[in-house]
Structure 1
Amino acid sequence: MKDQIRSLQRLLAALSSRERAALLAARPAVLQQPRPRTLHQLAARLLGTASLSRSALNLGEQQFLEAAVAAADHARGPGLPFVCGRRDLEQLLGVGRGVTADRFAEVLRSLTALTLAWPDGDRVWLHPDATVLFPTALGRSAHGRPPLPAAAPLVVAAPTPEFRPATGDGHGSGAAALHFLDKVLGAFTEPWPALKQGGLSVRDVRRLARILHCPEQESRLWLHLAVTLDLVTERHGRWICTERVPGWLRTPPADRLAYLAVALADVQILPGLPTQDPKLLNQSFATTGPSTHYNAATLRLSANYSAATLRRTVLDVLAELPAGQAADDGPALAAAVHYRAPHLFGPYDPTKPPVPPRPDPYGHWPKPNVAEVTAAVLRETELLALTDRGTLTDLGRAFRRDPGDHAALRAAAEAALPLQEKATILADHTVLVPGTPSPALAELLRDACDLEFRDVRTETHRITPGSVRAYFDQRPGTDPQQLLDALSTRSTTPLPQTVTYLVRDTAARHGHITVAKAGTVLDVRDPVLATELVHHRDLAHLMLRQAGPTVLLSPLQQGPVLEALRAAGYAPNSELKPSAARAADRSEAMYELPQLLLPPPRRRRGPGVAAPGEWLADLSVDEHEPVGELARFIYNRAPSLGANDCNVLATALGAGTTVHVEYRTPARTHASVTVRGPRLDHADRLTSAAGRTPLPLSLSGLQLVLAVPDGRGRPVRGK
């Protein structure tokens, strides 16, 4: 690995600090403390923290790297594929035969940012573990070693979707999502039978689709969203609404739409995918639940091909469209999605219709078809106002940035809902709302009206004597003119006279009889003392009211009342026995412990940390030779360490200070450990005097050694 580190060091030395910062922009692990101090150490950390996964490569990067591994292996024989000739690689990838040199350089730059391949003069160096990604590169097995193919053409260019001007911005599309979910909750007010293995049968899913007046795939989406939000759940063999539904219905519409977007990120299937096997349509199977297996009507997705990953891939492609442009759902869009994440999908040929997938003899489902996945994602995201006819909405962009940022999602959801601030009040007491009412209007309608009808476009309410009486019950002593003013403010037309008569007549008959709850009765001997207690500031929380000259009532129980009176300096007499009074104090106490307000923690002042640009500019070229006999010994035993690393480790071995060590494990992975009091054992392996290293580390596996300073910038001495 030493040759790779030195080659990458030469590349970093030729870059400016700004170019180095751009190279590390997507590699936050490289900037962890303690930071490298030389270019050799930076190169070692770049190689150690490289992402060795095909899921991080697009189609062009996979084609390039696979050809480079095959060419390097062919050039070096049975040894590890580390380097290949640039001219041989260009010929293998078809540069000059349909592939331009700019395309070759473009893919090589993207692989350089991942530290998987980088140029060095007339050669291209590879990460030493690149062969793990392609054990049979271009079909060349390690046992038979067939000859290198004559050509492995690189895709000419990254496919781009077909553009067209965007015709919408998603305004108003979120109301349909709230409407369908409300209908699901209305359907599950009565219990639905659950299967023994959990979930709903196919027959019940189709029944729900008829209730919602939507396709079966869409009804499955709304059902999964309701379950994810814990609004519908299975209890005692029945599916029914939970106690969270009333709170959900009182939540403002923008918040509800934001919660739906968050719930979509947790739905682990793509309900919009077509049926897998028509022969299994009548089979009962689970369609929702924590341990569901999707084998007949939905795609079974493993952890590597999760629905969340598929959705993000499609949304990432839409996010790259120019402003004001939308993508046509067709072969060009599917090809762009396949290019971005080829490991997620099976082979894609836009000239052939997709073949319905079937399991192999072992019961494993093949990878999904990219065209079907793209269409399903576009459909379900459009239903939730995340996309609109091939373009991302503001809500979709907020969802793509961070599904957990509820404040940003709520702000974007406002644009996806046609919130109405006013309604039309008719003479027959009917209230019409053309759309989704705003939170203020919804609260007024909920308190003073009865809901009669609701769909995607309109809501119909009615003002009745019962709804007006309920309004005054919640607000005793309210002047009827306040309700009339509120209705007049929210009405698009002058308030009808019939509504005015109804409100005033109901208010005139309201409150003639008052029924109140009395938790404690206070019998006071002196009317003056009774008046004093009612107006005492320290007893205001008892909410005392006079039922007679010497009779006071409080809604609190006797225990808190006795305690408050004694704390105010009075000596009340209780009819309860002392033991009963103490029990009442414990069971009926209405006080809560005050919340402790802790001051923010103080930040310790330490050495200033340089900005990434300044830090990258200050990196020095590593020394050519180690200093001292022990450092030279380490240099000969640790081929991946630079001279500076050997000097730091030798100093730590002599002084017992603490060092940060990064190394390669036997499983060829990158790991790090802080060693306090390092020393070498009888086999010249690195151990710790404190015995806190994971295991003795071979010097040949060390990649990076950095001194660990204390808060004052001095090396930490091991204990």
Structure 2
Amino acid sequence: MTEHSPPAGRSEGARGSSGVPLGAWLAQLPDEQLIRLLELRPDLTQPPPGTIAALAARATSRQSVKAATDELDFLRLAVLDALLVLHADTTAVPVAKLIELIGTRVPAEATHAAVDDLRARALVWGDDPIRVTAEAASGLPWYPGQAVVETVDTDPADLVARLQEVDGPQRELLDRLLEGSPVGRTRDAAPGTPPDRPVQRLLAAGLLRQVDTDTVILPRLVGQALRGEVAGPIELVEPDPTVSSAKAADVDAVAAGAAIDLLRETDLLLETLSANPVPELRSGGLGIRDVKRLTKSTGIDDARLGLILEVAAAAGLIAAGMPDPDPGDGSGPYWAPTVAADRFIESPAAARWHLLASTWLDLPGRPGLIGHRGPDGKPYAALSDSLYSTAAPLDRALLLDVLADLPPGSGVDAASASRAMIWRRPRWLVRLQPEPVGGLLTEAHAVGLLGRGALATPARRILAGDPVEDVVAAMSKVLPAPIDHFLLQADLTVIVPGPLERELAERLAAVATVESAGAAMVYRISEATIRRALDTGKTASELHSFFERHSRTPVPQGLTYLIDDVARRHGQLRVGMASSFVRCEDAALLAQAVVAPATEPLEMRLLAPTVAVSQAPIGDVLTALRTAGFAPAAEDASGTIVDLRSRGARVPALGRRRVFRPAPTPTPQTLSAIVAVLRRVAAAPTGNMRLDPGVAITQLQEAAKRQASVVIGYVDPAGVATQRVVAPVNVRGGQLTAYDPASGRVREFAIHRVTSVVSADAD
């Protein structure tokens, strides 16, 4: 059997054997419809077309048609498919004939609406009858006819079962059609062929479709089953992905709980990297062992940690660079918090959530790939460029758009969301399979945008484009109010039944360590944590007062004794700067400290019975004395206890990470100016608007003076005429110096090649 390639698109895309040419049809459109066309297909504006004919030619080019069909749903692609079956690429076809072919699979009103949308995109033109661009076949993710001609009552499970029964020759034939064109020519398709031939057996099993006596085609659903993809889309009516229903308040509560966990774990990550910056790999990102160490020290599982790392980096909270203070081992750069992390930590919870959630929406990468192996067999590293994907933000936006169109509280799962997303974007089918969509749902839950598979109210505000302050206010309403108390237990644990007020959380963290995290956090108080609080200048009476004021349960007697015991021993030795000095009212205790083995490297010597000095830094002296079993305290020149704890490492400047920059969208003023120039060019007797150079200089100088953008017609040295939106800077020596937004830089244009100058603000 020989494969048969689909017919190539005709170069006459703007004109066929009958009907109005596309260029003539575009010229008859009102300005607002031309502007709408350029809005729907912004690639047609880069660079601006010089004439209507040039616009028509570009609109029918294969590259532009593919870009235009990328955002079409299954119904609109099926209408294109039907028009190609009816040969509307060469002959105008009545709309009634199109509706007859589609039949009752979708209401006629929906077909008319789809045709109107395709007409607005210039993929279809004419009122009735209509034409379709010849390159429409290149924009279909299937062979023409596979959406409207093939039957749609095939059970995907039954299809998979039938495929498992094929023998070697049949499978070889199917694989050949799968890898190349789905259409093949064979004499075995003719009537009278023995039924035991592979082609006949596949036709009988419904795994091939006969086109004519010499041609067969691999059905679309069979090809998808062979590739291991989910079946579909099948129906021309959009599927409802709802699989569960919950109260909107319950959804918001679950999402708020996820937001609290996200903020807590982000704080924990920042604190960990602040204390111990992680070296960056030479190839970029973090090594597997470093991620494992972070997982162990933070208690965050691998997948969730990868997500938080990526979001924190994209939000500018962590970056690779040389931290201050320098780790001092001569290597680098390191991943550490940036100076922006301090502002983030001090911000209100709802504002911090908004930053992380909106960052995830635009994240140009796929955190779910971390740890998995790529095509080269190497695992994807966290924070590396190997995770970069310009399609990732588009997939997230599509998922949330699907959810936003559902009633509040309507939840989805991976399978139903995948089906709905593929229906809306059939050309994205490969990356919208249930497994990757399930990963997107998991991430959306983790960042607090979803709850129970449904979109939360604050997320709806983000998608609606509400101002930041309104989104933050919406999240503030669903977040539980911070509490001002905790519960002390007899075993010296502290139960925190909700999010603490910021100041209270910081004070508790200074005297206790987190033992377990979750909806109700558990802290542990120990001798070390009390000593740590005393090191910061707190007194025993302040600690007693703190626990009595904020504990809803009685303060355990054991805690009272522990605080008093540690405080009695704390600070008997005082370390100051001489290089360092140690003083103590108890001469025997100081003498014991001087001769302790752990302090021998300090080379301390007594100046007086109660004062000793050392050339070692004060930090080293404190560490050595604590190692020897003492409880020293640092003091300043006035004798006041000071907190010498490290404030943590910070990277002063953001590292260089790849960011996703979508193509710029032309402004309404620019689109209006482009259409105005097209009209003037068409109205000119000679078909162009070549200016006298003196007039061009005057107009460009005036635009530079007003700092106004203009649309210039320009003929390059190769003789190609284009239009360019530029912002003139100055005109000197026959050269225009102007900023070109399309290239993002300042360029020079020869005045004698400028054929027209029109204000970019022209109506």
TM-score (norm 1): 0.53
Q: Partner of 2:242 in structure 1?
A: 162
Question: CA shift at 1:390, angstroms?
Answer: 1.6
Q: Secondary structure at the match of 2:515?
A: strand
2:732 pairs with 1:672: no
Cα displacement (A) at 1:338 = 0.3
Distance 1:466 1:501, change over 3 A: same
Which residue, out of 416, 434, 441, partners 1:371? Answer: 434
Specify the alignment match of 2:422 in structure 1: 338
Q: Is the 8 A contact 1:254 1:413 kept in 2?
A: yes
1:266 equivalent in alignment to 2:363: yes
Partner of 1:87: 95
Q: CA deviation at 1:25?
A: 7.4
Contact 1:257 1:413 (C-alpha < 8 Å) held by counterparts:
no
Identify the residue that residue 716 of structure 1 maps to in structure 2.
Answer: none
Give 1:407 shift.
9.6
The verdict on how the C-alpha distance between 1:400 and 1:109 changes in structure 2, with shifts beyond 3 A counting, is same
Distance 1:708 1:90, change over 3 A: same
More displaced stretch, 333-342 vs 665-674 = 665-674
Q: Does 1:459 align with 2:459?
A: no
Name the residue aligned to 2:144: 138
CA distance in 2, matches of 1:67, 1:32: 31
What is the aligned partner in structure 2 of residue 57 from structure 1? 72
Shift of 1:302: 8.2
Aligned partner of 1:316 among 401, 413, 419 = 401
Q: CA deviation at 1:166?
A: 2.5
Matched, 1:692 2:749: yes
Distance 1:211 1:517 in 2: 34
Q: Secondary structure at the match of 1:381?
A: helix
Cα distance in structure 1, aligned partners of 2:752 and 2:442: 53
Equivalent of residue 433 in structure 1, options 496, 501, 511: 496
1:222 to 302, 305, 318: 305
Determine the C-alpha separation between the residues in 2 that align with 1:451 and 1:409: 30
Q: Indicate yes or no: 2:344 matched with 1:287.
A: no
Q: Distance in 1 between matches of 2:423 and 2:237?
A: 10
1:186-226 CA-partner distances (Å, limit 9, x unpaired) = 99989999999787898998998899989xxx623423532
Residue 101 (structure 1) aligned to one of 108, 127, 130: 108
Residues 1:660 and 2:738 aligned together: no
The alpha-carbon distance between structure 1 residues 463 and 654, as it changes in their structure 2 partners (threshold 3 A), is closer
- Provide the secondary structure at the position in 2 that maps to 1:57: coil
**Pairwise CA distance, 1:433:** 0.8
CA drift at 1:319: 1.7
Q: Given the alignment, which residue of 245, 253, 256 partners 1:171? A: 256
- Counterpart for residue 385 of structure 1: 448
Residue 461 of structure 1 aligns to a residue in which SS? strand
Q: Cα deviation per residue 1:426-478 (whole Å; 9 max; x = unaligned)?
A: 5665432123433122122123x121512213333355676566556545xx8
One-letter amino acid of the counterpart of residue 269, structure 1: R
Gaps of 5+ in 1: 77-83, 294-300, 346-366, 520-609, 639-645, 680-689, 700-704, 714-719
Report the Cα offset of residue 383 of structure 1.
Answer: 2.5
Q: Residues 294-305 of structure 1 correspond to what in structure 2 (within 5 A)?
A: 303=389
What is the aligned partner in structure 2 of residue 492 from structure 1? Answer: 552
- One-letter amino acid matched to 1:385: G
Distance in 2 (CA, whole Å) between partners of 1:384 and 1:308 is: 15
SS for the counterpart of 2:436 is helix
Match of 2:127 among 121, 126, 140: 121
SS where residue 374 of structure 1 aligns?
A: helix
Distance apart, 1:68 and its partner CA: 4.0
SS of structure 2 residue aligned to 1:309: helix
Deviation at 1:370, TM superposition (A): 1.6
Using a 3 Å threshold, how does the CA distance of structure 1 residues 489 and 340 change in structure 2: closer, same or farther? farther
The separation in 1 between residues aligned to 2:752 and 2:694, in whole angstroms, is 17
Cα 1:89–1:263, aligned 2, differ >3 Å: closer, same or farther? same
Q: Against the structure 1 CA distance between its residues 461 and 328, is the aligned structure 2 distance closer, same or farther, given a 3 Å change threshold?
A: closer
TM-score by length of 2: 0.51
Alpha-carbon distance change, 195 to 86 in structure 1, aligned in 2, over 3 angstroms: same
Q: Residues of 2 paired with 1:20 and 1:517: CA distance?
A: 77
Aligned to 1:12: 30
> Per the alignment, in what secondary structure is the counterpart of residue 368 of structure 2?
coil
Post-superposition offset of 1:139:
7.7
**After superposition, where does 1:383-422 map in structure 2 within 5 Å?**
383-394=446-457, 396-397=459-460, 408=471, 412=475, 415=478, 419-422=482-485
Give the letter aligned to residue 365 of structure 2: Q
Cα distance in structure 2, aligned partners of 1:285 and 1:136: 33
Aligned residues: 529
Q: What secondary structure sits across from 2:454 in the alignment? A: coil
Post-superposition offset of 1:161:
1.5
Partner of 2:206: none
- Contact 2:512–2:524, Cα closer than 8 Å, also in 1: yes
Contact kept in structure 1, 2:488 and 2:551, CA below 8 Å: yes
1:667 deviates by 13
Unaligned runs of 5+ in 2: 1-13, 15-19, 147-180, 185-210, 221-232, 322-326, 580-666, 701-709, 735-746
Preserved CA contact (<8 Å) 2:246 2:409: yes
Whether 1:450 and 2:468 are equivalent positions in the alignment is no
Q: Is the 8 A contact 1:425 1:491 kept in 2?
A: yes
**Structure-1 separation of matches of 2:107 and 2:132:** 22
Q: Provide the rounded CA distance (Å) in 2 between the counterparts of 1:482 and 1:438.
A: 19
Give identity over the alignment, percent: 21
Q: Is the 8 A contact 1:452 1:461 kept in 2?
A: yes
1:47 to partner: Cα distance: 6.5
* 1:220–1:668 Cα change, 3 Å: farther
1:568 match: none
Q: CA deviation at 1:102?
A: 0.8
Kindly tell me: are residues 289 and 412 of structure 1, through their superposed partners in 2, closer, same or farther at Cα, counting changes over 3 Å?
same
Residue 660 of structure 1 deviates from its aligned partner by 2.7
Q: Aligned partners of 1:432, 1:47: CA distance in 2, in Å? A: 65
Amino acid at match of 1:173: A
2:724 aligned partner, one-letter code: S
User: Which amino acid letter does the alignment assign opposite residue 518 of structure 2?
Assistant: V
Any conservation in 2 of the 1:395–1:412 contact (CA below 8 Å)?
yes
Contact 2:513/2:524 (8 A) holds in 1: yes
What whole-Å deviation, never above 9, does each CA across 1:319-366 have from its counterpart, x for those lacking one?
2212x2323316443221102222222xxxxxxxxxxxxxxxxxxxxx
Q: CA deviation at 1:157?
A: 1.9
Q: 1:382 Cα deviation (Å)?
A: 1.5
